[in-house]
Amino acid sequence: MFSLSLPAVIGAAIIDSINPCAFGVLIFLMTYLVALRLPKKMISVGLTYIVTVYIVYFLAGLGILSALASFAITNIIYKLSGILLIILGLVNLRSFLIPNSTWTLKIPESRKPQIEKWAKKASLPAAVVLGFLVSAFELPCTGGVYVAILGMLAIRNNLSVSISYLLLYNLFFILPLIAIWLFVIFTQSSQAIKDLYVKHKTALRLIMGIGMIGLGVAIFGNFL
């Protein structure tokens, strides 16, 4: 009987957390608040955004988990999760090798003006909306990892354990966002983290791609 281990959940969450989509939006938001010299809002608005991402991503996962658990084809879901991860990992590797490729897992260009508009409002309600939008739009970035883990959790057929794993998964998912938020608050500058992000953005896709492929192979080969 398949049993998803806690280290596998945490490892997948770490892969998922290397997320250029969520990174970019938070860095843009914090940069805007630094420019306005609003230190209190840097704390409250930034934290609200992160908490919203956590809640929305968790609730979305819970909905998908419930849907997957209702199907009797759990073994097929398990295998398809592995295949999906390998494919998405290869797309990320292609994005690393060809940075301007149209085949890139990212927030759609058509949605970016909407995200920018809410970021510039610099308010708590706007941070909630922004967190919701990013959680919804970032699925093309790393959603494959999340769906794969949800597919494996559905096989467990133990809702309480699955929910606890899901809560932990999302905690690890937002840890890099918390690190970025704290860095900007304590330094009162976003330039260093912004430069680091721009410099290593394609490298993040390489790491994500390798992680996705490795996890996909482990799932498909029943190594977990």
Low-confidence ranges of the chain (pLDDT < 50): 1-2
Tell me the per-residue pLDDT of 94-130, one tens digit each, with 9 for 90 and over: 878 887 666 666 676 777 788 888 888 888 999 999 8
Confidence at residue 1, expressed as pLDDT on a 0 to 100 scale: 41
pTM (predicted TM-score): 0.86
Got the DSSP string for 17-61? Answer: H--HHHHHHHHHHHHHHHHTT-HHHHHHHHHHHHHHHHHHHHHHH
The residue ranges of every structural domain in the chain are 6-220
